[in-house]
Amino acid sequence: MSHKLVRQDRLIDEYSLTKRLAGLLSSWEFILFLTLIGVFVLFSIISPWFLDYFNLMNASFSFTEKSILALPMIFVILSGDIDISVASIMALSSFAMGNAASKGAGAGTLVLIGMATGLAAGIVNGLLVTKIKIPAIAVTLATLSVFRGISQAILRDNAYTHYPPKFAFFGQGYVGNSVIPFEFVFYLLLAVIMGFILHATTYGRKLFAIGNSASASRFTGINVDRIRFTNFALNGLFAGIAAVLLTSRIGSTRPNIATGWELEAITLVVLGGVSITGGKGNLFGVVIASLLVGYLKFGMALVNLSAKVMVITTGSLLIVAVLIPKILDVINAHRKLRSQRSELKLERKAS
């Protein structure tokens, strides 16, 4: 009888391992990772300059700030909200920094001003959503116009271009004597911190709970409005950080800075596997998506494909990102049904 139990346990362990492996290989994150490898293989064949280490590192400048915008957007979308004002918050933050720079502010002060302006704008969004109870899409659609409108009304066709030399490091500098951009390393550090918060803390678990059912979360004692408010404040803070990096990199402030970036940030989040309706997703997939889109555009630029082709390709990826997870859900549901039947057969054999 003991031999039969040992054999049963071994069969169950082997089956569980196979099931976990099958789940990993069919996950959206693994598919994204394979696609990223495919992009590298394809463009390394087409262009001899694609795999150049210096080129790969410098290419990260073109997508790092957008990727930073996507990190807190994960929290917002997971909890069932949306924020389409982040690019306008960047414009407002950049304007505030440019105005301060024109009056002689130093590099450290400019960084604090950019972050504080972004945080303040995020707090405004959060208060309107959680205290005034206006839907997030309506609030951020309005502030999208207001925040950028402030810089447009004051600057008009002018620009701030006089920034202190030390300020350039944040968006143009490298780590030590390497060719690794400072802002890319900073993005990866932020991704690790946000990933820890999302996947290893009670705050992260509350985000998933709220996204699945805000009303049920309230009954369990979760302060839903506080979580949502914090999400919008974080979104504003990260928009301020992205504004610091972008303004530092281009060395100027114009009213049209970062136009359209809110949609690109949302694209990265959805492409990374986060459900647009909330309650499902992880940060690792979004990081892979940011690398995939960034290096896909870099490769397309190397082979002289037009910007329109890039836009069409990104849009197609977004459609695929919405469709494939739904297909995978159906496949996983069938697999779960089969696994339940197999487990039932194992139990019958053991008995």
DSSP class of 161: -
* pLDDT interval class at 134 (50, 70, 90): very high
Structural domain count of the chain: 1
- Roughly how many angstroms between the first and final C-alpha of the chain, as a whole number? 10
What is the length of the chain? 351
Query: What is the per-residue pLDDT across 148-158, written as a single tens digit (0 to 9) for each?
Result: 999 999 998 89
User: Mean of the pLDDT values across residues 315-341?
Assistant: 72
The mean of the pLDDT values for the chain is 89
Backbone torsion region of residue 105, taken as left when φ is above 0, otherwise alpha when ψ lies between -120 and 50, otherwise beta: beta
What's the pLDDT score for residue 100? 97
What's the pLDDT score for residue 1? 47
- How many whole angstroms separate alpha carbon 278 and alpha carbon 283? 13
For the chain, how big is the Rg over CA atoms in Å? 23
CA distances to 42, 55, 210, 288, 295 from 292, in Å? 13, 15, 29, 6, 6
Token output for 55: 């080129």
- How many whole angstroms separate alpha carbon 3 and alpha carbon 11? 12
Q: What percent of the chain shows pLDDT beyond 90?
A: 72
Map residue 135 onto helix, strand or coil: coil
Strands (DSSP E) found in 114-217? none
CA 2 to chain centre: 52
CATH number, domain at 61? Answer: 1.10.3470
∠ at Cα 59 (48, 272), nearest 5°? 110
pTM, to two decimals: 0.88
Task: For the beta carbon of residue 333, count every other beta carbon within 10 angstroms.
Answer: 10
For residue 198, what are the domain limits?
A: 2-350
Query: What is the per-residue pLDDT across 295-320, written as a single tens digit (0 to 9) for each?
Result: 999 999 998 887 778 778 777 777 77
Locus of tokens 């390709």: 313
Residue 18 has pLDDT above 60, yes or no: no
Instruction: Name the more confident of 33 and 339.
Output: 33
Query: What is the per-residue pLDDT across 33-89, written as a single tens digit (0 to 9) for each?
Result: 999 999 999 999 999 999 999 999 999 999 999 999 999 999 999 999 999 999 999
Q: Determine contact, residues 102/252, Cβ cutoff 8 Å.
A: no
Query: What is the per-residue pLDDT across 232-247, written as a single tens digit (0 to 9) for each?
Result: 999 999 999 999 999 9
Query: What is the per-residue pLDDT across 94-119, written as a single tens digit (0 to 9) for each?
Result: 999 999 999 999 999 999 999 999 99
Q: What percent of the chain shows pLDDT beyond 70?
A: 87
Element counts in the chain: helices (H) and strands (E): 15, 0
